[in-house]
Structure 1
Amino acid sequence: MPGIVIVGVQWGDEGKGKATDLLGDRTDWVVKFNGGNNAGHTVVIGDEKYALHLLPSGILSPGVTPVIGNGVVIDPEVLFAELDALSARGVDVSKLRVSANAHLITHYHRTLDKVTERFLGKKQIGTTGRGIGPAYADKISRVGIRVQDLFDESILRQKVEGALDQKNHLLVKVFNRRAIAVEEIVDELLSYAERLRPMVADTGYLLDEALQRGEVVVFEGGQATMLDVDHGTYPYVTSSSATAGGAATGSGVGPNRLDRIVGIVKAYTTRVGAGPFPTELFDEQGDWLRAKGFEFGTTTGRARRVGWYDAPITRYATRINGITDLVLTKLDVLTGLEQIPVCVAYDVEGRRFDEVPVNQTDFHHARPILEHFPGWSEDISGCRTFEDLPQTAQDYVLALERMSGTRISVIGVGPSRDQVIVRHGLVD
């Protein structure tokens, strides 16, 4: 069972990096297949904490070949800064491979991201301002700059000229900003070429060869199901395919190579940015949950919105992704609650919805129908088997499993890599 996809079930920040790290000893390749440096993974190894933004978390596991796939948009400055920071801490980054077909984020993408978000005023989507959306927009509009373009100066110049022709009109005439010179962008991008060249490869071919040899390849999704551009809470979504289907298109590997789909879900729910969030808490319980779970963005530092576990969302994600296993993270954060509410359905102006409404207006007005479960006060951070958990914690997990449509195979009981309970192995 060599092809394993890891996806977020909610709105991101569920702990995907830790799940990938958990597979490290059994993994040969880890592939990032979507997104850019607009999201982050935090991995704790012993006393060391690593915050990764653009790199696959597998880069921290010796023996693993990390890959940035064609579905990712890459800011070269961020890429090299992350590599240098890891190298300074003794991490070997020499195995990194980057798809020649991945698109690049440039200075004008970051500029457009920030000015257009400000222009939206109260209708802001809540982007990170890192140029992700504009880079994907250029990709779809067929005016994007790809990694391979850095190695042909003539082609690069033509593409930058074509991209800036329209964008400079927009910057000057609509946003009252200065025009961006073609040479400025070309010179910046060319400065990255020689350092990037040894990393660049036909990564789809490399991955297919690895899978044919029976090696274990983990496909690591950025963001999460409810932020997917097709299946999320549009328009409050990211600009790429964050679901399991995106693993195939974002890596160049055929979908029949994907054997197991692992969904990562928190024992409660969070999201960053604007958009509907039925279980969101605005009271002291929300402040407590945010502080206890340290719910602040790895990339932005922004406080996350927090709420109770949403079972309909998990069922939806299970169906959309074809999830075979769930990894339930941060169960320890709920320790100390007398009662733990869970959203089992929605009330939309007097109508009950047991599943996520297909209509955006209905979902925006959805209010959670809650079922309460007894909590626990015991410290569970040292538990290593399911039976070690207090009975009420076991009951909570089993209730979530029944509601979610698939088995909960791994339970996180703390931030460190060894603070997990494995009920079912993720690699057969």
Structure 2
Amino acid sequence: MASKGELGLVFGAQWGDEGKGRIVDCLSKYDVYARFAGGDNAGHTVTVGNEIFKLHLTPSAITRPHSVVLIGRGVVVNPKTLVEEINGLRERGIDINPSGYLLDGKSRLITKAELLEDALWEASGGTFIGTTLRGIGPTYSLKMLRRGPVIDMIAGEHFDEISLRKHFEDRIPILKTLAQNRNVHRALETLQDDIQKDPDNQSKQRAFDFLTAAVSFQPINIDAEIDALAEYGRFLYQYVGNTIYRAHHDYDKGKRLLAEGAQGTLIDIDYGTYPYVTSSHTGLAGFLESFGFAPETVERRLAVTKAFQTRVGSGPFPTELHDDTARHLRGTGENPWDEYGTTTRRARRVGWLDGVLLQYALEVNGATEIALTKIDVLGGLDKVGICTGYVKEGKVIAKLNRIDGDELSGLNPENLIIEYLDGWPEMDRKNLSWETLHPNAQKYVNRVEEIAAYPVTMISYSPEREGIIFRK
């Protein structure tokens, strides 16, 4: 009997945007790369030479020749986004061959109904939690209710117009009910004022457009939506199949498979800072759920964390900074690696690395090692901070076995234990090794290892594919 293959997992240990895509891109020894959760609310940026690829659904390894990429059934798919992404990759010379690109037919389908519902729920609550308005939450909700369309309905053997039409007919009354909430109309007025002040804000313009459509007499033109879905289905048909079968078949044949997480542990639906979370499992649990492997088969579990902390949207952020240091960490937005969302272009909130939350994220995923990204961004600071504990009711908390969004929101700067290390000069971002890394940067990496209690095996110091230091 042939020996089994190898399974690895790359997951985010923060609130997302940790640099998972560039880490996956550097792990070239694998044969198959699998995306297992989330949707086009998350974005990965991969730099190859002078080319920058921004991906939302396709696994990052698509830029590597001969790699097989899988989009598992735990992913929720906006077909418009996926078709545009595949075409965009083709235009830039990337080979998208059906033999090496597989989308699961049971992946949930995001339609216009879910996009409008997402916007209505966000507006009707009175408080925005920072959703990207990509229809992710409503689509996962329908999955749990055992309702809603799947990819096979548009790209299977037969186009299922009857089920799709019924889906829209069922959702329209719900949209009209949600649209009657007084907060929705208040949100429209607020968004209109905000857009007049900041006409380039794409996120607010998107929300305004969705809400305007949702409150109209005919929120969805069913015939037009079905025609569009049929067109997307004809395009995607060649890529659709059973990713669970393919993953297990390749693994049983000795292939090496790497699972690529989207977003981060701290916004996981169960393990994150609820309610300021996404709608799926972002780490180990999501991979097991989507592809059906046993936990013990995942030998390598690589946690990706920035050398500092970032977050997009609302929610607790104990170590958040608002001063000149924050501006240094965030950047101006002129560079692709600055702290602005790949999908939304929203400025990210920034702060010191939170060692307490990092240790928590590593524990719940059973991590084996750490990839530390963007250490170069800390270059040029006189002092670099790491949070090593919280002080609550006179007690020092250095380790958490659970996190609660509301409890973390109650932490003030005086509740934090921040350890400051000496900084280092700006890096030249060229051919660095552990030996040539500035001694103070080495001390910082070593301190992260001590706090996290896991080894740092990869250090990213530039967005280029070559800008990685590998450590044993």
TM-score range, shorter-chain basis?
over 0.9
For residue 394 of structure 1, report the CA deviation from its aligned partner: 0.7
> Residues 398, 79 of structure 1: CA spacing in aligned structure 2 closer, same or farther, 3 A cutoff?
same
Q: Tell me, what secondary structure is at the counterpart of 1:134?
A: helix
Q: For 1:192-220, what per-residue CA distance to the aligned partner results, in whole angstroms no more than 9, with x for missing partners?
A: 22221111111111111111122111100
Q: Tell me, what secondary structure is at the counterpart of 1:241?
A: coil
The separation in 1 between residues aligned to 2:247 and 2:296, in whole angstroms, is: 13
The separation in 1 between residues aligned to 2:409 and 2:42, in whole angstroms, is: 24
Contact 1:145 1:156 in 2 (8 A): no
Aligned residues: 421
Determine the structure 1 residue equivalent to 2:43. 40
- The answer to whether residue 121 in structure 2 is matched with residue 109 in structure 1 is no
- The answer to whether residue 355 in structure 2 is matched with residue 311 in structure 1 is yes
* Structural RMSD (CA): 1.8
The separation in 1 between residues aligned to 2:169 and 2:152, in whole angstroms, is: 22
TM-score (norm 2): 0.85
The separation in 1 between residues aligned to 2:173 and 2:396, in whole angstroms, is: 49
Q: Which amino acid aligns with 2:275?
A: P
Contact 2:10 2:258 in 1 (8 A): yes
The separation in 2 between residues aligned to 1:265 and 1:172, in whole angstroms, is: 42
Contact 2:271 2:403 in 1 (8 A): no
Determine the structure 2 residue equivalent to 1:83. 86
Determine the structure 1 residue equivalent to 2:128. 124
- The answer to whether residue 140 in structure 2 is matched with residue 96 in structure 1 is no
Q: Which amino acid aligns with 2:133?
A: G
Q: How does 1:294-305 map to 2 (within 5 A)?
A: 294-305=338-349
Q: Which amino acid aligns with 1:146?
A: V
Determine the structure 1 residue equivalent to 2:409. 364
Q: 1:326 aligns with which of 370, 389, 396?
A: 370
Contact 2:25 2:465 in 1 (8 A): yes
Q: 2:7 aligns with which of 3, 12, 16?
A: 3
For residue 153 of structure 1, report the CA deviation from its aligned partner: 5.5
Q: Tell me, what secondary structure is at the counterpart of 2:466?
A: coil
Q: For 1:333-380, what per-residue CA distance to the aligned partner results, in whole angstroms no more than 9, with x for missing partners?
A: 001111111100112354422123644432221242101111111525
- The answer to whether residue 56 in structure 2 is matched with residue 53 in structure 1 is yes
Q: Tell me, what secondary structure is at the counterpart of 1:36?
A: coil
TM-score (norm 1): 0.94
For residue 241 of structure 1, report the CA deviation from its aligned partner: 0.6
Determine the structure 1 residue equivalent to 2:243. 203
Q: How does 1:17-416 map to 2 (within 5 A)?
A: 17-24=21-28, 26-94=29-97, 95-121=100-126, 123-150=127-154, 151=156, 155-158=160-163, 160-161=165-166, 163-175=167-179, 176-177=215-216, 178-291=218-331, 294-348=338-392, 350-356=394-400, 358-367=403-412, 368-377=416-425, 379=427, 381-416=429-464
The separation in 2 between residues aligned to 1:82 and 1:16, in whole angstroms, is: 19
The separation in 1 between residues aligned to 2:56 and 2:159, in whole angstroms, is: 31
For residue 132 of structure 1, report the CA deviation from its aligned partner: 1.1
Q: Which amino acid aligns with 1:133?
A: G
Q: Tell me, what secondary structure is at the counterpart of 2:52?
A: strand
- The answer to whether residue 468 in structure 2 is matched with residue 420 in structure 1 is yes
For residue 117 of structure 1, report the CA deviation from its aligned partner: 1.4
Contact 2:121 2:178 in 1 (8 A): no
Determine the structure 1 residue equivalent to 2:19. 15
The separation in 2 between residues aligned to 1:142 and 1:185, in whole angstroms, is: 22
Moved more, 194-203 or 174-183: 174-183
Moved more, 179-188 or 334-343: 179-188
Q: Which amino acid aligns with 2:279?
A: S
For residue 124 of structure 1, report the CA deviation from its aligned partner: 0.9
Contact 1:378 1:390 in 2 (8 A): no
5+ residue gaps, structure 2, are 180-214
For residue 152 of structure 1, report the CA deviation from its aligned partner: 6.2
Q: For 1:220-275, what per-residue CA distance to the aligned partner results, in whole angstroms no more than 9, with x for missing partners?
A: 01001001001001111111110112111122334343111010000000011110
The separation in 2 between residues aligned to 1:117 and 1:223, in whole angstroms, is: 20
The separation in 2 between residues aligned to 1:174 and 1:42, in whole angstroms, is: 36
The separation in 2 between residues aligned to 1:181 and 1:382, in whole angstroms, is: 54
The separation in 1 between residues aligned to 2:307 and 2:151, in whole angstroms, is: 39
Q: Which amino acid aligns with 1:345?
A: G
Q: Which amino acid aligns with 1:287?
A: R
The separation in 2 between residues aligned to 1:224 and 1:160, in whole angstroms, is: 35
The separation in 1 between residues aligned to 2:161 and 2:150, in whole angstroms, is: 9
